[in-house]
Structure formats: C-alpha cells, structure tokens
Structure 1
Amino acid sequence: MKKITAILLSLTLILIIAGCGQDEKQPASQTEKKDVTLKVATLIPPMTDILDIVKPLLKEDGINLDIVVLGDNVQPNTALANNEVDANFFQHVPYMKQYNESNDTELTLVQPIYHAIYGAYSKRYKDIADLPDGATIAIANDASNIGRSLVMIEKAGLIKLKDGAGIEATQADIVENKHNYQFKEVDLLMLARTLDDVDLVAMTPAYAKPVGLTPKKDALITESVDSEFAISLVARSNNADSEEIKKLAERMTGPEVKKFLEEEYDEIALPAF
C-alpha cells in the first residue's frame, strides 16, 4: 500500500512539474511579435524608388511596408489625416503646414529625406537674360510653392517682393515687376505639361526629370539648398513617435538610400541626412 501511495505521489509530482513547465513557456509564445504593416502614401520617383529600397529592409525588422501610390498632391495628406495610411512621403514642411492650417489637422514632420532643388526651365530661351518683357511664367498654384517660386524669381533679380513676404509671398506681394512678367498658377502635377505653352516654368526636379530636364544642366535659375524645403517623411502627431515609424525613418536615412540618391539622382536629389 505504501508503494502504491509513493508511486501515485511521484506521478502527481511529475504532472505538476510538467504543468509548471507548460505555464512557463506559454507567456513566451504569447510575447512573440507578429509582423505589422505600415501603409505609406507617395506619388512619383524618386520617392517611390526610396520606399522600394527600404521595403525588404523593413521586412527584416518585422514590418510589412505597403506603398500606396496616389494621383495628386492632396490625396496623400487627406489619406493620412483620415487614418487611411500611417505616413506619407511626398512633401516639404511648408506645404504640410499650409495643409494643417487649411484643414485643422495635426500632420507632423518625422524626417527630412532629400533636397529637391527648385529650378525654372524654358524650351524657348537658353539664358534668363533672354526672357522678354511680358513673358509668361508658370508656377505651382499651392500657397507654399507660390511663395517658393516667387522668392527664387526675386533672387534672380526678375521681380521684387514686399519686405518680409518670404516664402508666404503671393502675387499681391510683388511690388516691382519692370518687365511686366505674367504669372500663371498651375497644379503642381501639371507644370511640366506647360513647357510648350509658356516662356518659363518653375518646378521641382521630380517633375522636370521625366521630360529630360535637370537643375544642374537645364535650369535657367535655381534656388539654394534649404532644409525647410526638403522632401520629408510625415506622419500624424498621434503616431509619429511609434516604434514602427521610427524604424521607417531609420531605414529611409540608411546607407542604402544615401548611396542610391548619390548614384542615381545626384543632379536632382541631395540627401538631407
């Protein structure tokens, strides 16, 4: 009887120990991280190229990158503000701020990625000095890029703006226009298409390159590098500090992206990191 009791006690002890072992392992399996998905809205190369580069790198970090290519320069911010995507990559900070002010949103800068050198191009003239009186100049029609274009044109000596107007300038701030230049405000994505119809077009290299133009070789005038206008990764204020967004920013400023910009886009996109 004592032997049977001892055997039963031993079996009970074994079962208890086995049960404890399973309990100890259970939390470990529950803490295993599952892959998360980040949706990032963007527009055109080299923005899309950069995201394609970091996509497999993020996979190593347990993050699936879903690249959402949209058709205009409003949709990425609308999608981000409406929680349809987690971040976007297509704009500079002044444009983001203007969107926030107009829509009562809280989009925020995460990381500058590259400087897109603004320039003015012409199919009709080879030198800015050849631009005739009354010439038509096409500029982007959104508030931040209107000011950016006018400041660049002012620095080239073509017009004079009201003191202090800066990048918030509008055509109403032009106080001197000796050559009676006519400014035509056009949707950002349509600027390159106006090259045949106007005398000068002010635009970013992302829109100039598809038609074979670069700021170094072809622009009649260019702006200086200004970090304020760097094309940047943007998120919402409520997710900008998340680990996934931080990892995305880290990968987008990694050596792979820097090498790509230097080798493939050295004439139009300078790393901002």
Structure 2
Amino acid sequence: MKRLIMLLALAMFVLSGCSDNAESTPEEKKQVDLKVASLIPPMTDILEIAKPLMKEEGINLEIVVLGDNIQPNNALANKEVDANFFQHKPFMEQYNESNGTELVRVEPIYHAIFGAYSKKYKTMDELPEGATIAIPNDQINLARSLVMFADQGIIKLKDGVGLKATQADIVENVKNYKFKEVDLLMLARMMDDADLVTLYPSYAEPLGLKPSKDAVITENVNSTFAISLVARKDNAKSEAIQLLAEKMTGPEVKKFLEENFADTSLPAFD
C-alpha cells in the first residue's frame, strides 16, 4: 500500500511539473525574416531606424549593403532579398523594361536634391566655353541631368524626349559644353577633373557639399524621383513589406531627416 501511495504521489508531482512548465513558457509568435538591400546613408540610416520598430512586431529586418546601383535590383528580382531601398521610380521602370522584371514602388520615402557642383566656379555664367560637365552614364540619370540643364536654359533638347533624352537629343549647346558620361558611383571622383559634376546629395555630402549653398544649379523637387522602397509584384502587398513602409514613413524617420539631412533629403511623406 505504501508503495502505491508513493507512486501516486510521484505521478502527481510529475504532472504538476509539466503543468507549471507549460504555463511558464507560452507559445511564442513565429519571427519573420525580411531582407532589404540598400547602398549608403541616409538610406541605410532609415532602415536602421526601422529595424527595432520592426522587431517589436516580430519581424527581423536584415539590411544587406551592396556596392553598386545594379546589384540591389538583381538581388530583388532573383529573390535573394525581399525589397530594396536606393532608387527612384524611373530608374526602377528602366530596369524592368531592360530585364523583363516586375519590380514595383511600394512607398516614396525622401526627395534627394539633385544638383551640379564645381571646385572652380560658383555660377553657370563663370563656366567657360567648352567646359567639361560630368553626368551619370545610366539612361535615366543621364536624361535627368540633361533635363535639369535644359530647364535652366543651358542647353536645348528635342521636344518631348523627356527621360529618354541622350546627348544625341541636344539641339542647342551655345557654349559647346562637353558632357562626359561616368558611372554614378564614380562621379564624386570627377570633382578634380571636370569643370562641373552632377551629384546626388548622398555623394556630395561626404565632400562637404550641400545643394542649398554649394550647388551651381539644382533640380526642382519632383515626387517622380523620390527615393523609394521597392519590392516585387508578388510580395509588395505582403504584411511585412507594408509594415516596413509604415515604419519608414513614421515620425522617427521624419524627425531624423529633418534634424540630420534638412539640406539634402526632404521627406516625401506627411
């Protein structure tokens, strides 16, 4: 009888222990991993701000920093990452057209003020005839540069060419400027060699240059060119991507841009 009582007591103890363990370790929400490719600040800074906010929602945001402006779209198209954050919509559309892909803009995040800078000259009037102007060599940013100069009356382009403009579309160049096409990431290195260089603020900033006070000319802010969060057609409306878009347009990001990049990167959201 004593043996039976001891066995019953032991069984009750084991069951009690199992019950306690079950109560002390509630089922955890499954964590979701989200990979986003990017390039440089403030793009990477914005993602870093979003990272802990996403963590609170059970989403592990992994920021994949790549070395040029081709890799992020290739990685996204090949499903190596879930989204990217480095480009404006026309650049994305050009990639889709060239590669038969279906990348889509999820959310515009900030306006990068595009401008032209010089170590030698303060105004376009000072720029001599035949001066060399360095511009990006990819189709969209090349056209964007030419349109900026055309809008300022520095050159004239064929009617209606818009963002398909190339140097062949220049119909008037009174001062015979020579436009030198250079890889976007290499343009900053042209400051010593060219008379004028077109730069995004993220590449001008490390040189101590700000569009508001250092640019010879700047482009008008245009929502078409807002640096945006981009995903694929098949995942753009997923809960994780939509949540990331929400966090990247939240008050934390807006405050960060206003306090740290007010001269170069304007929020594209309210």
Q: Please indicate, yes or no, whether the TM-score normalized by the shorter chain is above 0.5.
A: yes
- Which ranges in structure 1 are unaligned for 5 or more consecutive residues? 1-21
Q: How does 1:63-212 map to 2 (within 5 A)?
A: 63-212=59-208
Asked whether 1:240 is paired with 2:236, we answer yes
Match 1:267 to one of 257, 263, 268: 263
In structure 1, the partner of 2:36 is 40
1: CA distance, partners of 2:235 / 2:199: 31
1: CA distance, partners of 2:158 / 2:222: 21
- Which ranges in structure 2 are unaligned for 5 or more consecutive residues? 1-18
Aligned residues: 247
Secondary structure at the counterpart of residue 37 of structure 1? strand
Secondary structure at the counterpart of residue 197 of structure 2? strand
Asked whether 1:221 is paired with 2:203, we answer no
Q: CA deviation at 1:168?
A: 1.8
Secondary structure at the counterpart of residue 76 of structure 1? helix
**What amino acid maps onto 1:148 in structure 2?**
R
Provide the alpha-carbon RMSD of the alignment: 1.4
1: CA distance, partners of 2:213 / 2:40: 21
In structure 1, the partner of 2:5 is none
Which runs of at least 4 in structure 1 moved beyond 3 Å after TM superposition?
Answer: none
Q: CA deviation at 1:33?
A: 3.0
2: CA distance, partners of 1:152 / 1:213: 19
In structure 1, the partner of 2:3 is none
1: CA distance, partners of 2:77 / 2:260: 32
TM-score under structure 2 normalisation? 0.89
1: CA distance, partners of 2:150 / 2:257: 30
